[in-house]
Amino acid sequence: MARAFAEITFTPSVRAAQSRYGSRTANAGFEQAEDRRDVLTDREAEFIHARDGFYQASVSETGWPYVQFRGGPRGFLKVLDERTIGYADFRGNVQYISTGNINADGRVALILMDYPNRRRLKLWARARIVHESEDPALLARLEVPTYRARVERAVVMTIEAFDWNCPQHITPRFTEDEIAGLVAPLRQELARVTAENEALRATGPTARALGSGPLEVVVTGMRQLTPRIRAYELRAAEGGLLPPWTAGAHLSVPVRLPDSREQTRAYSLMGDPADRHVYEIAVLREDAGHGGSIAVHRDYGLGTVLRCGLPRNLFGLHEDGRPSVLIAAGIGITPIRAMALALIASGRPFELHYAARTPAEMALRQDLEARLGSSLRTYFSQDAAPTPLNIGKVLAEAPPDAVIYVCGTAPLIAAVHGQAAALGIPPDRVRSERFAAEAPRKGDQPITVRLTRTGKTVTVAPDQTILDALIGAGVGLLFDCRAGTCGTCATKALDGVPDHRDSALSEAERTRAGLMCTCVSRALTDHLTLDL
């Protein structure tokens, strides 16, 4: 099908320019795509709600364009539905140029910028002016109660098309709040050194709070689910309600590594999303891992105070009435359990297929049997009478419109995607989340990584991730999942050939934007040059 923004923007004169400068062939292929990009998804909605300003272009009766910056509190531009956005029009310089243009010709174009992360969303829409006398409920819905500005009218826009731009040539810029957030860890570190915290640390893990995130919680309960999996109950440090979350969300928690560095690790919330009083996570101790799970088992005790990130969801449930098929192995049960509880609460049909090596290694088995009854099927590969999980059979017998969710090891996830493709199940009905990065592959070679902004050169060992090597070299960069599922650490590769091993980036982000996830991906060449 035709991509909507190309239908709008690739006019005959634009196509002629593309032909003259040698890009027509590439753009002709780009015009066709499975997704028209004229219906907002959760990704676009989240991005729009996070903005505190955008650029809006309108056109006058004389044909002259007018570009205006619209600013306000974060989230003042609201997504009303998958095709509609709007904002309360605050009183400005009373020239009413945009308002007049929209009344004459409702076509507008918007550019929304995320300067720190070098992301840009372009929107084409048809706008209309709505006054309070015409639709007071709509004005009330768009008003921002905490922002003291006079609302004169609303601007409501019907989306015709949107497109994401690559980060090339976007100069990172930061607001005062963003700079404060970046500087906060340095200030905390200075306070820690000034207070001679090394002496306090010797008194035990609860001597001070771990981490520097915005959410402070305290460990109020611990359960040993299997010999290697331990569950932790977290409550608000000051009591009261915790921030809301949805099934499939994870929580970034702080850990202290053996060299005293603090990092974060992401663990899925496995409790009931309806319970705002407690979060539950479960951590598999990986003795051969990077040290994060060992640090959790070692340092987290009753009363330990943690400063965490806010819940984030990259693995959410669909919202319509289609049935769900949930597949989990090992520690992958944690987000799947939350999904099962949410589906029970909403009365939607599902079945859960849960595999482990032995009954003793199946965390939460009795809990799930009591809650789920016949909706739960368990499988054991190394039991006295093995009953291995047959993925092909599970998918073949699934309802024809079921949405499939899988969490667990890389081989399990690959098998589910492979069997689904063989059965003709559309890729958009198979959703997955990894709990750990793919293990180093046999034949991985050392990589030399050059950083253009700092001038540093870092060597990455065959059994080391690029992310870990950069952190070890003192390079500061954003990251979260460390498993190639969130895209937070995505960085532009300027030279060399990346070996992509993530599940977060689209083909366009990899090829046209040149991005790669440093937490899992490597290189097909012996070198890489990164825009860091």
Higher pLDDT, 328 or 189: 328
pLDDT of residue 129: 95
398-422 residue pLDDT tens: 999 999 999 998 889 999 999 999 9
Per-residue pLDDT at 302 exceeds 50: yes
Alpha helices in 376-500 (DSSP H): 391-396, 410-422, 466-472
| pLDDT exceeds 80 at position 242 | yes
pLDDT at residue 206 in the model: 44
Band (pLDDT 50/70/90 cuts) for residue 102 is very high
Kindly tell me the burial class for residue 273, based on how many C-beta atoms sit within 10 Å of its own C-beta (0-12, 13-18, 19 or more): buried
**Domain 36-165: which topology?**
Pnp Oxidase; Chain A (2.30.110)
CA pair distance 110, 70, nearest whole angstrom? 10
In one letter, which amino acid is 74?
R
Q: Are 86 and 106 a contacting pair, CB within 8 Å?
A: no
Q: Find the mean pLDDT for residues 313-320.
A: 93
If one counts every other C-beta atom within 10 angstroms of the C-beta of residue 133, the result is 8
Residue 305 in contact with residue 210, Cβ under 8 Å?
yes
CATH architecture of 178-313: Beta Barrel (2.40)
- Res 150: pLDDT: 65
Backbone φ and ψ for 341, nearest 5 degrees, come out as -65, -40
Task: DSSP for 485-523, please give it.
Answer: SS-TTEEEEEES-EE---SSS-HHHHHTS-EEETTT-EE
- Strand, helix or coil for residue 71: strand
Query: Whole-prediction pTM value?
Result: 0.57
Domain ranges for the chain: 6-31, 36-165, 178-313, 324-434, 447-530
Q: Which CATH number fits domain 447-530: 3.10.20.30, 3.20.20.70, 3.60.20.10, 3.40.50.2020?
A: 3.10.20.30
- 528 band by pLDDT with thresholds 50, 70 and 90: very high
Given this model, what pLDDT does residue 260 score? Answer: 82
CATH class of residue range 324-434: alpha beta
Cα separation, 267 vs 222, whole angstroms: 15
Q: CA 203, 206, 210, 212 torsion: positive or negative?
A: negative
Cβ atoms within 10 Å of 301's Cβ, excluding its own: 12
| Beta bridge pairs of residue 405 | 326, 431
Write out pLDDT tens, residues 183-211: 888 888 888 777 754 444 444 444 468 99
